[in-house]
Amino acid sequence: MTIEDGRYYRPLTVTVTDMEHGMTVRTVLERKLGVSRKLLSRVKLTERGITVNGRRAYTNDKVAQGDVIAIRMEKETSADILAEPIPISAVYEDEDLLIVNKPAGLIVHPTHGHYTGTLANGVVHHWLMKGEQVRFRPIHRLDEETSGLVAIAKTPYIHQQLSEQLQADRIMKQYAAFVYGAPNPAAGTVDGPIDRDPDSPHVRIVTPSGYPSVTHYETAESYGVGAASMVRLRLETGRTHQIRVHMRYIGCPLIGDKMYGPAENGKPDWEEAAGRQALHAEKLGLTHPITKQWMEWTAPLPPELDRLRELLASLPE
């Protein structure tokens, strides 16, 4: 590898077939790799961003059968994110993708007033220790008080591809939640548009004028005489606070949810057992943009939710 090559991530290459003979570089890359025009606009500005048979090329150049097209993306860093030695639990990692099991109490990305102590700070430090030059690009996020699996892209191309999968509902996200009461019916779909509460902008509500929001749920366990339940949920959409809002909407708010839970004077003794909202992203599945293989990961319930589960299971029937 030359010093020049060290500026770039691993190249993505395609070989032109007889059916693609005479097409432009842009057309072949869009057809075979699904590269967006925005990304092509970025890579074509660098000397080795786009090459055909090792020589610099442009998106409108015509190609012939057997030509090898390569695109190279310049390496980036999250210069605005301070690297901190915050332990992270990496469930999977390769050159393109990082899957982490986030603990509750950790914000995913720095925000106003929270510039340090986030998952991003820990991941940037993780890559620094590995000698990798990578920018932090989460595909999706979890609330601070929600634990579980988060996917992070390591290159602009992977981020583009997985973002498109997310938008097309081709990324599988399954959650486990402990809720008050017993959903009726025990399994079903909540199709309730969500938007901000006009009286409280930080709060979301189900409203006819909101954004389409769909949550599928299934009761896994019931506790006491309808006192509480463990439910598993899958999302078709990813609105802010979606699970929390939808569970409240059907009369089964999450245990420990300070924003959407019941009033303080209506909480049972086991409310504080978990110490936070009882929601965990337990399963994640996606198609790897490079290998095209479907991959799945699971994360077991963390100790605090295991304790809550044991306590609920001991409730009298």
What residues are annotated to the active site? 143
Give the integer Cα–Cα distance in Å for 67 and 32: 14
Query: What are the C-alpha distances in Å from 93 to residues 141, 165, 170, 187?
Result: 18, 19, 20, 34
* Dist CA 50 CA 43 (whole Å): 7
CA of residue 92 relative to chain centroid, distance: 14
Q: What is the DSSP letter of 254?
A: B
Neighbouring C-beta atoms of residue 290, cutoff 10 Å: 16
Are the beta carbons of 178 and 309 closer than 8 angstroms? yes
The SS3 assignment for 141 reads coil
